[in-house]
Structure 1
Amino acid sequence: MRHAVVMIHGMGEQIPMETLTSFVDATWTTDLSLVGEDRKDVNTGEQRTENASWGKPDQRNRSFELRRIATEKAKTGVYTDFYEFYWAHLITGNTWDHVAPWLTGLVLRNPFKRVPAAVRFAWCVMAMVTAILVYLAVVNIWNVSNDIAPGPRTSFVLALAALAGGYVLNTLIIPRLGDVARYIKASPPNVANRQKIRSNGVELLETLMHAKKTKIDRKGNPYEVYIYDRIIVASHSLGTIVAYDILTHTFGRNNRDYDAEKMAKTPAQPHREALEKAIQTASLPDNDPAQTILDIEDFQALQDAARAELNATGNRWIISDFVTMGSPLTHAEFLMAYDKDGLRADQAKRILPTCPPVLEWDERSDKSHFTYRRGKLDGIKVPDNDDGTKPAFESHPRIPHHAAMFAYTRWSNLFSKHRFVLKGDLVSGPVADQFALQGEGGPIKGVKDIPVLPDLDHNGQPASGMKRGWVTHNNYWNAKAQSELRTPLDENGKKAAPHHIQKLRAALRLGKKV
């Protein structure tokens, strides 16, 4: 059994394989529980201190700058291949002209209607700094036009401010925020870049889903089998938006794939039925709060089971997990739509998939589903129930609509709650609310939001023994970034991985047969 992990990096001038290498170190190399400390090191034959992996050339990524990182076999019998989807080279040459219109649009908006409460303080700081810069520019122009020479102290302060501003502008804002501005905003100069990034990402995922190898049976006859049983998509920062888009388009191109013979052999889809029933129940008016809250653990277990049923029909959607870290998707209404109403409208139209997916009414079953029946499926005979009665219409085999990917793919989101801009991670936050299904009884949340750096208690404050760090955006797989007040120990009294690394490993489920 072999799994694939696709890592999608964030904004900035990233170097190929740097992100992936450090990610593999944190999630595979140093996690001895995956292989077992009692097994000898496969490279040296000595006592194991880390798990082995190797960088191999691979044509699936279609770049000589990138390599597949292949691991040794886990104790569960699973091999894992790590890939990096590298896209930084497709957005280069950022200039102020790329950034200025986007920043202007962020500043010149109603802060009470078009700025989420979580970033309103940061917006106020940005607006204040902008106002000060505009004021200084106006004063300078006035002085020059009236031949008023500033004093030596004023000249020194203005020169120092200009140098600092130029440094920040050229090393932070333009290279990094330029990526955000050019990917987020679908203006004509950006469309080609967006298209290339997304098409390359879709091509990689489809290549991995359908990758095959040739084996020889006992009689010496060759036959083909699929290489991967499961794919995990992990992403960071702006890469989470890129990943979300890629997954959306990949599922929309593959949701209707099935094999009629396989479908006829396994027409029953009880886990899909159970998943739809859970969402249908949660969608009811809120007369019983206990029934309108989706249990996230049960929901994610049903997602795994429903995906197995989908695969049994011949559909190769094997992307089991979507793991986001430091995701700006928490600000989707701020970045991906005009406002919150615009975001909800796009979600209802299935332009932006929700988790759980949007349901549609089926008059034949008299219920709402994220699946539908195709005409070709009407020829598949569904066996009668054990008591001889005909099965309910919703029990017949069904196909997911194009925006139902989160019926089959679990979404886990690691975030670091920010405070006063520089504490924690301003970019990140929970995403379950933003991408919830809007039911009659209220929002139905299917994303597992996981607070890290630090863990949070039920009041949203750092849990006991935790502290909030400074600017944690790049620390989600950095084992040296400690949020604990002291080094944690495992059950054997040995030094344990930090809390955020443990949560990341749990979300990825490396080596798990799911």
Structure 2
Amino acid sequence: MTQIPKQAVLLIHGIGEQRPMDTLRGFVDMIWKRNPDVHHAHAATGVFSKPDDISGSYELRRLTTTKDRNGVRTDFFEFYWAHMMEGTTMGHVLPWLKHLLLRRPGSLPRALQGAWWVLTGIVLVALFFWLLTALPESWRFWHLPKWISAAIGLLATLALAPVLKKFVGDAARYLTPLPINIHRRQEIRAKGVEVLNKLHESGEYQRIILAGHSLGSVIGYDILTHAWPAYAEQAQPLAHPVLNQLEDLLQSSGLEIDAYQHAQLALGNELRANGCAWLVTDFITMGSPLAHAEVLMAINREDLHSKQAERELPTCPPQLEASRFSYPPASKVRRLHYAAVFGPTRWSNVYFPARAIVYGDVIGGPLRNVFGLGIRDCPVRTSIWGGFLSHTNYWTPENKQTTGEHIQVLQRVINLLNE
């Protein structure tokens, strides 16, 4: 019997106290169940919950679809990492908070400047009223009863501490390379690379899509960064006509995103024909903090550009050397360099544009001007809560009848039909 072709979607959840499978089930509902454009005319539209033999966790399942309009089945997996962040304390958060707050607000990306003022204001209010309770009566210029000062200080602290510890804490620990965080960073990245490698090695899939929400998009980026070099070495150093065309395309005066992503797909096919087993065709980011990489992954903008130029942080398109992102540059027989993961892997970024801090998504934002003009930026909008605090609404439908523009865009960039 002929085996039905399959593809895999690996979803990486964001910050917070996530429960296994909650994120994945909601995501699959919108990307598959409520996406009639991909359904086969004579197949059911539900999913089957099967054992997950990739992650090694009994808490996780893979959700398997019936065949789609192209006759392909999709296995949806979740890379669950929240349990690796247990035990967060304010000691993990404060160094990261210091890095963000003890700087000129003008040195921050514009989208973060308003949030800087709000967060700094809350911290100063808490410190001010705690200070009033500690000063002797004769020293206090504001004669307010100590119990009122203590109450205000306590309220400000209670408003700030849980948010910092439970939500910001994950980001602080993952994004800050201090000795107390290195083990967790290594554990999450190593497990992510292991899961991605197992999907490749299973032999079941002809294509892999990696999608990450919030901090999960940063983790996804790191997984691709660290997994790719081993696959790049697999390709035979042969003449690559599609690679030549793609690199020539980058020399044109303006990168047209449709043409570039079409060429990326063709390059992936060429690499596989030449012995490279890389199957990740698409990387999808949603509400990604990578938009603020100059302060979250570097000291400043200049430091970020330096790390990208040195190929420590891959860009899309990849960094060029003598007009090529393959080597040796002058040879007709070449292979892609170790930071060229976004040569064959398309990158699409979905975000709610932020305004007035609380509308849209201040955590995410456009990425083309941060990681390269080969990224497809997709600004979306939603009427959920009037657009108020939309960071967790990327696959939340408008209502039972209508998914909404934001989900329709997400369905298109996930691109289950690979069109």
Q: Quick check: 1:120 aligned with 2:113?
A: yes
- 1:31, CA displacement in angstroms? 1.3
1:80-479 aligned at under 5 Å gives the runs 80-112=74-106, 114-143=107-136, 155-156=147-148, 158-159=150-151, 162-163=154-155, 165-170=157-162, 172-212=163-203, 227-258=204-235, 260=236, 267-281=238-252, 291=253, 293-361=254-322, 368-373=323-328, 396-436=332-372, 445-454=373-382, 469-479=387-397
Counterpart CA distance in 2 for 1:202 and 1:451 is: 29
The residue aligned with 1:440 is none
- 1:65, CA displacement in angstroms? 0.8
Counterpart CA distance in 2 for 1:146 and 1:130 is: 22
- Residue 137 to residue 30, structure 1, CA distance change in 2 (3 Å): same
Q: Which of 31, 39, 43 is residue 42 of structure 2 equivalent to?
A: 39
* TM-score normalised per structure 1: 0.76
Q: Deviations over 1:230-275 (max 9, x none)?
A: 00001000111111001000012221113x5xx7xxx442221111
Counterpart CA distance in 2 for 1:147 and 1:425 is: 41
- 1:434, CA displacement in angstroms? 0.6
The answer as to whether partners of 1:453 and 1:468 remain within 8 angstroms in 2 is no
Q: Deviations over 1:383-426 (max 9, x none)?
A: xxxxxxxxxx75x3421000001111110000111111111111
Q: Which runs of 5+ in 1 are unaligned?
A: 42-50, 213-226, 282-290, 362-367, 375-392, 437-444, 455-464, 482-486, 488-494
Q: Deviations over 1:134-160 (max 9, x none)?
A: 2222222114686999656x7347425
Counterpart CA distance in 1 for 2:245 and 2:137 is: 73
Q: Which of 3, 6, 11 is residue 7 of structure 1 equivalent to?
A: 11
Counterpart CA distance in 1 for 2:406 and 2:308 is: 31
Counterpart CA distance in 1 for 2:188 and 2:242 is: 35
Counterpart CA distance in 1 for 2:137 and 2:289 is: 42
Q: Is the partner of 2:347 in helix, strand or coil?
A: strand
Counterpart CA distance in 2 for 1:145 and 1:76 is: 80
Q: Is the partner of 2:208 in helix, strand or coil?
A: strand
User: Partner letter of residue 60 of structure 1?
Assistant: I
- Residue 147 to residue 356, structure 1, CA distance change in 2 (3 Å): closer
Q: Deviations over 1:15-50 (max 9, x none)?
A: 1111011100110111122214x5364xxxxxxxxx
Q: Is the partner of 1:257 in helix, strand or coil?
A: coil
Between stretches 421-430 and 495-504, larger displacement belongs to 495-504
CA RMSD in angstroms comes to 2.4
User: Partner letter of residue 247 of structure 1?
Assistant: L
The residue aligned with 2:405 is 499
- Residue 59 to residue 145, structure 1, CA distance change in 2 (3 Å): farther
The residue aligned with 1:47 is none
Counterpart CA distance in 1 for 2:403 and 2:104 is: 44
The residue aligned with 1:216 is none
Counterpart CA distance in 1 for 2:343 and 2:243 is: 8
Q: Taking every aligned residue pair, what percent have the same amino acid on both sides?
A: 39
Q: Which runs of 5+ in 2 are unaligned?
A: none
Q: Is the partner of 1:337 in helix, strand or coil?
A: coil
- Residue 372 to residue 421, structure 1, CA distance change in 2 (3 Å): same
Counterpart CA distance in 2 for 1:109 and 1:499 is: 38
The residue aligned with 1:22 is 26
Q: Is the partner of 1:406 in helix, strand or coil?
A: coil
The answer as to whether partners of 1:80 and 1:511 remain within 8 angstroms in 2 is no
The residue aligned with 1:383 is none
The residue aligned with 1:286 is none
- Residue 2 to residue 188, structure 1, CA distance change in 2 (3 Å): same
- Residue 151 to residue 131, structure 1, CA distance change in 2 (3 Å): closer
Q: Is the partner of 1:450 in helix, strand or coil?
A: strand
Counterpart CA distance in 2 for 1:40 and 1:353 is: 40
The answer as to whether partners of 1:24 and 1:82 remain within 8 angstroms in 2 is yes
Counterpart CA distance in 1 for 2:31 and 2:367 is: 23
Q: Deviations over 1:257-314 (max 9, x none)?
A: 13x5xx7xxx442221111011133xxxxxxxxx2x1000100000000111011111
Counterpart CA distance in 1 for 2:182 and 2:366 is: 29
Q: Deviations over 1:182-231 (max 9, x none)?
A: 1000000110100010000001111111213xxxxxxxxxxxxxx11100
Counterpart CA distance in 1 for 2:137 and 2:362 is: 39
The answer as to whether partners of 1:415 and 1:429 remain within 8 angstroms in 2 is yes
- 1:466, CA displacement in angstroms? 11
- Residue 247 to residue 148, structure 1, CA distance change in 2 (3 Å): same
- 1:132, CA displacement in angstroms? 2.5
The answer as to whether partners of 1:143 and 1:149 remain within 8 angstroms in 2 is no
- Residue 156 to residue 333, structure 1, CA distance change in 2 (3 Å): same
**Count of residues in correspondence between the two structures:** 415
- Residue 18 to residue 467, structure 1, CA distance change in 2 (3 Å): closer
Q: Deviations over 1:169-188 (max 9, x none)?
A: 12x22011111111000000
More helix by share: 2
- Residue 90 to residue 467, structure 1, CA distance change in 2 (3 Å): closer
Counterpart CA distance in 2 for 1:107 and 1:183 is: 18
User: Partner letter of residue 400 of structure 1?
Assistant: L
The answer as to whether partners of 1:424 and 1:468 remain within 8 angstroms in 2 is no
The answer as to whether partners of 2:261 and 2:346 remain within 8 angstroms in 1 is yes
Q: Is the partner of 1:472 in helix, strand or coil?
A: coil
